[in-house]
């Protein structure tokens, strides 16, 4: 009997986002494919260190065990060929990650395979794959390089920026073209009109479904961390209400540093569309950048 991926929250993650493969990637970038292949063969039995996305994936997979039911499906999506992927497979086994499905594309872009697995979130360290994924309507983030994070909580905590992430960039374009006062005036004027969905909206909807399925367990917590002030934030609240989505925490920062709030929140991942915010945030919590898109909507 074939599997319906629509029954699960499906996360596709590149091997470089899940594991620390920066040394191997540097060899590929500087010395070429043959040197990379030789390096992988020589280190085939060496277990890879966790990468930026590892804690998040581990916590999502733990939900399956805690609920005694398959609710999350994780698929490792690697540009490696089959012959150079044994180190990744060995590392999956070493960390006892319940991941059975892999895509090994042999250098081809990964994004073309997202539809086949009905992916709800794609995390990668390859900018082109992320761009293509978002253009095709799939929530995706370019994950920042691995750093040491202190995230002791067993709860999954996911934080989003607002404009150009959960919501479309229409309001942000007004800010860029006409300034802050025009932006705030537009948001107050249109506070009863729901904003259009942005690149990560589908993932938020799927998280809400997972929260409902895990009701009363408190396994998952969501937050919006936005530079909007409380007046421009009214439209955010009313949009979520029209979407029938409840977000656990919302921060209207009016320009305050997002990284400080995210460190206190303890995000397992933070999504933002600007490096000026996502970069500093990545120093304290795992972070991913949502790259510019054509805002195609995933169905």
Active-site option among 62, 150, 154, 161 = 161
Assess whether 163 carries a catalytic annotation. no
Q: Which long-range contacts (CB under 8 A, 24 or more apart) does 183-187 make?
A: 183/232, 184/229, 184/231, 184/232, 187/228, 187/231, 187/232, 187/234, 187/235
- The rounded distance, in Å, linking the Cα atoms of 63 and 67 is 6
Closest CA to 69 of 10, 112, 8, 12: 8
**DSSP element (H, E) containing 75:** strand 72-78
Q: For residue 40, which of 53, 31, 54, 27 has the smallest C-alpha distance?
A: 27
Greatest CA separation for the chain: 63
| Nearest residue to 160 via CA among 121, 189, 133, 132 | 121
At 149, list the tokens. Answer: 């994070």
Structural contact between residues 286 and 269, judged by C-beta atoms closer than 8 angstroms: yes
**Which one, of 232, 17, 36, 257, lies nearest residue 141 by Cα?**
17
Catalytic residues: 161
């Amino acid at each position: 009997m074939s599997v319906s991926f629509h029954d699960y929250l499906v996360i596709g993650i590149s091997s470089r986002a899940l594991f620390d493969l920066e040394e191997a990637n540097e060899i590929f970038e500087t010395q070429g494919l043959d040197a990379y292949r030789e390096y992988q063969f020589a280190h085939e039995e060496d277990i890879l260190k966790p990468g930026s996305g590892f804690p998040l994936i581990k916590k999502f997979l733990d939900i399956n065990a805690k609920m005694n039911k398959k609710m999350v499906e994780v698929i490792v999506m690697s540009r490696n060929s089959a012959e150079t992927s044994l180190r990744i497979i060995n590392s999956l086994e070493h960390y006892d990650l319940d991941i059975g499905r892999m895509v090994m594309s042999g250098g081809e872009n990964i994004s073309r395979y997202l539809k086949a697995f009905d992916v709800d979130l794609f995390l990668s360290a390859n900018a082109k794959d992320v761009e293509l994924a978002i253009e095709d309507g799939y929530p995706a983030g370019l994950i920042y390089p691995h750093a040491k994070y202190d995230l002791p909580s067993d709860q999954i905590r996911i934080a989003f920026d607002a404009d150009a992430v959960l919501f479309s960039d229409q309001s942000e374009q007004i800010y860029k073209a006409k300034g802050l006062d025009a932006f705030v005036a537009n948001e107050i004027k249109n506070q009863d009109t729901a904003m259009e969905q942005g690149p990560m909206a589908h993932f938020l909807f799927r998280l809400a479904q997972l929260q409902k399925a895990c009701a009363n367990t408190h396994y998952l917590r969501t937050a919006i961390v936005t530079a909007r002030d409380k007046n421009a934030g009214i439209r955010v609240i009313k949009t979520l209400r029209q979407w029938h989505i409840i977000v656990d925490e919302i921060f209207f920062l009016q320009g305050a540093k997002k990284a400080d709030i995210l460190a206190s929140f303890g995000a397992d991942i933070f999504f933002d569309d600007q490096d000026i915010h996502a970069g500093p945030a990545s120093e304290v919590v795992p972070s991913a950048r949502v790259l510019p898109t054509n805002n195609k909507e995933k169905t």
